Protein backbone atom coordinates (compact mmCIF):
# COMPACT_ATOMS: atom_id res chain seq x y z
CA UNK A 1 0.00 0.00 0.00
CA UNK A 2 1.33 3.43 -1.00
CA UNK A 3 0.32 6.39 1.15
CA UNK A 4 -0.95 9.71 -0.16
CA UNK A 5 2.36 11.38 0.70
CA UNK A 6 4.33 8.64 -1.06
CA UNK A 7 2.14 9.06 -4.14
CA UNK A 8 2.95 12.78 -4.24
CA UNK A 9 6.66 12.01 -4.04
CA UNK A 10 6.49 9.43 -6.84
CA UNK A 11 4.58 11.83 -9.08
CA UNK A 12 7.20 14.52 -8.43
CA UNK A 13 10.07 12.12 -9.15
CA UNK A 14 8.44 11.11 -12.43
CA UNK A 15 7.93 14.75 -13.45
CA UNK A 16 11.54 15.64 -12.70
CA UNK A 17 12.71 12.69 -14.80
CA UNK A 18 10.46 13.74 -17.70
CA UNK A 19 11.90 17.26 -17.53
CA UNK A 20 15.41 15.76 -17.66
CA UNK A 21 16.22 17.21 -14.26
CA UNK A 22 18.46 15.35 -11.84
CA UNK A 23 16.35 13.61 -9.22
CA UNK A 24 18.11 14.76 -6.07
CA UNK A 25 16.98 15.38 -2.51
CA UNK A 26 17.50 19.10 -3.11
CA UNK A 27 15.35 19.19 -6.26
CA UNK A 28 12.61 17.16 -4.61
CA UNK A 29 12.61 19.45 -1.57
CA UNK A 30 12.35 22.53 -3.79
CA UNK A 31 9.55 21.02 -5.90
CA UNK A 32 7.46 19.98 -2.90
CA UNK A 33 8.44 22.95 -0.69
CA UNK A 34 9.58 20.55 2.02
CA UNK A 35 12.73 20.58 4.15
CA UNK A 36 15.57 18.29 3.03
CA UNK A 37 15.67 16.14 6.22
CA UNK A 38 11.98 15.30 5.66
CA UNK A 39 12.73 14.33 2.04
CA UNK A 40 15.67 12.17 3.15
CA UNK A 41 13.40 10.25 5.48
CA UNK A 42 10.80 9.63 2.76
CA UNK A 43 13.44 8.60 0.21
CA UNK A 44 14.58 5.84 2.57
CA UNK A 45 10.99 4.60 2.87
CA UNK A 46 10.52 4.56 -0.90
CA UNK A 47 13.80 2.68 -1.33
CA UNK A 48 12.71 0.09 1.25
CA UNK A 49 9.52 -0.47 -0.77
CA UNK A 50 11.62 -0.95 -3.95
CA UNK A 51 9.95 2.06 -5.58
CA UNK A 52 13.26 3.88 -6.15
CA UNK A 53 16.97 3.14 -6.43
CA UNK A 54 18.97 5.31 -4.09
CA UNK A 55 22.69 5.46 -3.29
CA UNK A 56 24.32 8.25 -1.35
CA UNK A 57 25.81 10.98 -3.57
CA UNK A 58 24.10 9.52 -6.68
CA UNK A 59 20.95 10.57 -8.54
CA UNK A 60 17.74 8.90 -7.44
CA UNK A 61 15.99 6.66 -9.98
CA UNK A 62 12.48 5.27 -10.13
CA UNK A 63 12.36 1.48 -10.37
CA UNK A 64 9.95 -0.11 -12.85
CA UNK A 65 7.61 -0.66 -9.91
CA UNK A 66 7.92 2.98 -8.90
CA UNK A 67 7.41 4.24 -12.46
CA UNK A 68 4.31 2.08 -12.85
CA UNK A 69 2.90 3.49 -9.62
CA UNK A 70 3.68 7.07 -10.70
CA UNK A 71 1.93 6.55 -14.03
CA UNK A 72 -1.06 5.06 -12.22
CA UNK A 73 -1.36 8.24 -10.14
CA UNK A 74 -1.01 10.42 -13.27
CA UNK A 75 -3.75 8.37 -14.95
CA UNK A 76 -6.12 9.03 -12.06
CA UNK A 77 -5.22 12.72 -11.95
CA UNK A 78 -5.63 13.37 -15.67
CA UNK A 79 -8.85 11.36 -15.99
CA UNK A 80 -10.25 13.39 -13.08
CA UNK A 81 -9.23 16.68 -14.70
CA UNK A 82 -11.00 15.71 -17.92
CA UNK A 83 -14.13 14.60 -16.06
CA UNK A 84 -14.25 17.88 -14.15
CA UNK A 85 -13.79 19.81 -17.38
CA UNK A 86 -16.09 17.90 -19.74
CA UNK A 87 -18.84 16.66 -17.44
CA UNK A 88 -18.88 19.33 -14.72
CA UNK A 89 -17.95 22.21 -17.05
CA UNK A 90 -15.17 23.54 -14.82
CA UNK A 91 -12.50 25.70 -16.45
CA UNK A 92 -9.12 24.17 -17.25
CA UNK A 93 -7.62 26.62 -14.75
CA UNK A 94 -9.78 25.13 -11.96
CA UNK A 95 -9.44 21.38 -12.35
CA UNK A 96 -5.85 20.77 -11.23
CA UNK A 97 -6.26 21.55 -7.53
CA UNK A 98 -9.44 19.48 -7.27
CA UNK A 99 -7.85 16.54 -9.10
CA UNK A 100 -4.91 16.71 -6.66
CA UNK A 101 -7.37 15.66 -3.94
CA UNK A 102 -9.39 13.09 -5.89
CA UNK A 103 -6.36 11.28 -7.38
CA UNK A 104 -5.65 9.62 -4.04
CA UNK A 105 -8.91 7.61 -4.02
CA UNK A 106 -7.83 3.96 -4.04
CA UNK A 107 -10.79 2.49 -5.96
CA UNK A 108 -9.62 1.50 -9.45
CA UNK A 109 -13.25 0.83 -10.41
CA UNK A 110 -14.06 4.49 -9.73
CA UNK A 111 -11.47 5.70 -12.25
CA UNK A 112 -12.21 2.89 -14.73
CA UNK A 113 -15.83 4.05 -14.76
CA UNK A 114 -14.73 7.67 -15.39
CA UNK A 115 -12.60 6.37 -18.27
CA UNK A 116 -15.62 4.52 -19.72
CA UNK A 117 -17.91 7.54 -19.35
CA UNK A 118 -15.41 9.77 -21.18
CA UNK A 119 -14.97 7.30 -24.04
CA UNK A 120 -11.43 6.16 -23.20
CA UNK A 121 -9.72 9.52 -23.82
CA UNK A 122 -6.02 9.88 -24.62
CA UNK A 123 -5.42 13.47 -23.42
CA UNK A 124 -6.49 15.63 -20.47
CA UNK A 125 -7.88 19.22 -20.68
CA UNK A 126 -4.35 20.63 -20.87
CA UNK A 127 -3.29 18.29 -23.68
CA UNK A 128 -1.26 16.01 -21.39
CA UNK A 129 -1.29 12.29 -22.35
CA UNK A 130 -3.35 9.97 -20.14
CA UNK A 131 -1.61 6.65 -19.36
CA UNK A 132 -3.73 3.60 -20.18
CA UNK A 133 -4.49 0.85 -17.67
CA UNK A 134 -1.06 -0.70 -18.39
CA UNK A 135 0.82 2.58 -17.94
CA UNK A 136 1.44 3.17 -21.66
CA UNK A 137 1.30 6.75 -22.93
CA UNK A 138 -0.19 7.76 -26.30
CA UNK A 139 2.31 9.27 -28.72
CA UNK A 140 1.59 12.76 -29.98
CA UNK A 141 4.09 14.74 -32.03
CA UNK A 142 3.55 18.26 -30.73
CA UNK A 143 6.18 20.97 -30.21
CA UNK A 144 6.36 24.47 -28.67
CA UNK A 145 4.92 27.31 -30.73
CA UNK A 146 8.27 29.08 -30.18
CA UNK A 147 9.71 26.64 -32.74
CA UNK A 148 7.10 27.60 -35.33
CA UNK A 149 7.63 29.60 -38.52
CA UNK A 150 6.04 32.78 -39.80
CA UNK A 151 3.26 32.27 -42.36
CA UNK A 152 2.25 28.88 -40.90
CA UNK A 153 -1.03 27.84 -39.27
CA UNK A 154 -0.88 25.71 -36.11
CA UNK A 155 -3.39 24.00 -33.82
CA UNK A 156 -3.05 24.23 -30.04
CA UNK A 157 -2.76 20.73 -28.54
CA UNK A 158 -1.55 21.41 -25.01
CA UNK A 159 0.18 23.69 -22.53
CA UNK A 160 3.32 23.22 -20.46
CA UNK A 161 2.34 25.71 -17.78
CA UNK A 162 -0.69 24.85 -15.63
CA UNK A 163 -0.60 27.89 -13.35
CA UNK A 164 -4.06 29.36 -12.84
CA UNK A 165 -2.93 32.85 -13.86
CA UNK A 166 -1.41 31.55 -17.10
CA UNK A 167 -4.52 29.57 -18.05
CA UNK A 168 -6.74 32.57 -17.26
CA UNK A 169 -4.50 34.67 -19.51
CA UNK A 170 -5.02 32.17 -22.34
CA UNK A 171 -8.78 32.18 -21.74
CA UNK A 172 -8.74 35.95 -22.19
CA UNK A 173 -7.10 35.51 -25.60
CA UNK A 174 -9.60 32.87 -26.68
CA UNK A 175 -6.91 30.18 -26.58
CA UNK A 176 -8.19 26.71 -25.73
CA UNK A 177 -7.29 23.25 -26.99
CA UNK A 178 -7.97 23.07 -30.72
CA UNK A 179 -7.55 26.81 -31.26
CA UNK A 180 -5.90 27.84 -34.52
CA UNK A 181 -2.83 30.09 -34.32
CA UNK A 182 -1.35 31.66 -37.43
CA UNK A 183 2.11 33.17 -37.00
CA UNK A 184 2.28 36.43 -38.93
CA UNK A 185 5.66 37.74 -37.78
CA UNK A 186 8.50 36.81 -35.42
CA UNK A 187 10.51 39.62 -33.84
CA UNK A 188 14.29 39.16 -34.08
CA UNK A 189 14.87 41.12 -30.87
CA UNK A 190 12.92 39.06 -28.34
CA UNK A 191 11.33 36.25 -30.44
CA UNK A 192 7.84 37.50 -29.61
CA UNK A 193 5.22 36.63 -32.22
CA UNK A 194 2.47 38.57 -33.96
CA UNK A 195 -0.31 36.00 -34.38
CA UNK A 196 -3.93 35.63 -35.42
CA UNK A 197 -6.03 33.36 -33.20
CA UNK A 198 -8.93 31.46 -34.75
CA UNK A 199 -8.60 33.58 -37.90
CA UNK A 200 -9.93 36.71 -36.18
CA UNK A 201 -8.12 37.78 -33.00
CA UNK A 202 -4.82 39.57 -33.67
CA UNK A 203 -2.38 39.78 -30.76
CA UNK A 204 1.27 39.61 -29.69
CA UNK A 205 2.56 36.59 -27.77
CA UNK A 206 5.78 36.80 -25.77
CA UNK A 207 8.51 34.19 -26.16
CA UNK A 208 7.63 32.83 -22.69
CA UNK A 209 4.02 32.26 -23.74
CA UNK A 210 5.06 30.66 -27.03
CA UNK A 211 7.39 28.27 -25.21
CA UNK A 212 4.47 27.02 -23.15
CA UNK A 213 2.02 26.46 -26.01
CA UNK A 214 2.25 23.00 -27.58
CA UNK A 215 1.07 22.81 -31.19
CA UNK A 216 0.97 20.76 -34.39
CA UNK A 217 0.68 22.04 -37.93
CA UNK A 218 -2.96 22.56 -38.84
CA UNK A 219 -4.10 20.52 -41.80
Q: Tell me if residue 139 falls in helix, strand or coil.
A: coil
> What are the tens digits of pLDDT across the range 8-44?
999 999 999 988 888 999 999 999 999 999 999 999 9
User: Cα 195 to the chain's mean position, in Å?
Assistant: 25
Q: How far apart are the first and last CA of the chain?
A: 47
Nearest partner of 175 among 58, 93, 78, judged by Cα: 93
Helix (H) or strand (E) holding 32: helix 25-32
Q: What's this model's pTM, rounded to 2 decimal places? A: 0.84
Residues 6+ apart with CB under 8 A from 93: 164, 167, 168, 171
> What are the tens digits of pLDDT across the range 48-104?
999 999 988 788 999 999 999 999 999 999 999 999 999 999 999 999 999 999 999
Identify the pLDDT of residue 55.
87
Contact of 39 with 46, CB cutoff 8 Å: no
143-217 has CATH 2.30.30.90 classification:
yes
Identify the pLDDT of residue 140.
76
Q: Where are the domains of the chain?
A: 4-62, 143-217
Contact of 162 with 126, CB cutoff 8 Å: yes
Residues 6+ apart with CB under 8 A from 26: 36
Q: What is the domain class of 4-62 according to CATH?
A: mainly alpha
> What are the tens digits of pLDDT across the range 148-168?
999 999 999 999 999 999 999
Identify the pLDDT of residue 129.
92
Amino acid sequence: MVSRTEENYLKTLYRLAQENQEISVKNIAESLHIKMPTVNSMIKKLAEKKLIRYEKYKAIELTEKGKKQALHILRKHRLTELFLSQVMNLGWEEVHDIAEQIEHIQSDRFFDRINEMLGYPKFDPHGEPIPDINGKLPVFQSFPLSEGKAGTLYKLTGVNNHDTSFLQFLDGLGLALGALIEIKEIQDFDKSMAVVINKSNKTILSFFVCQNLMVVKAS
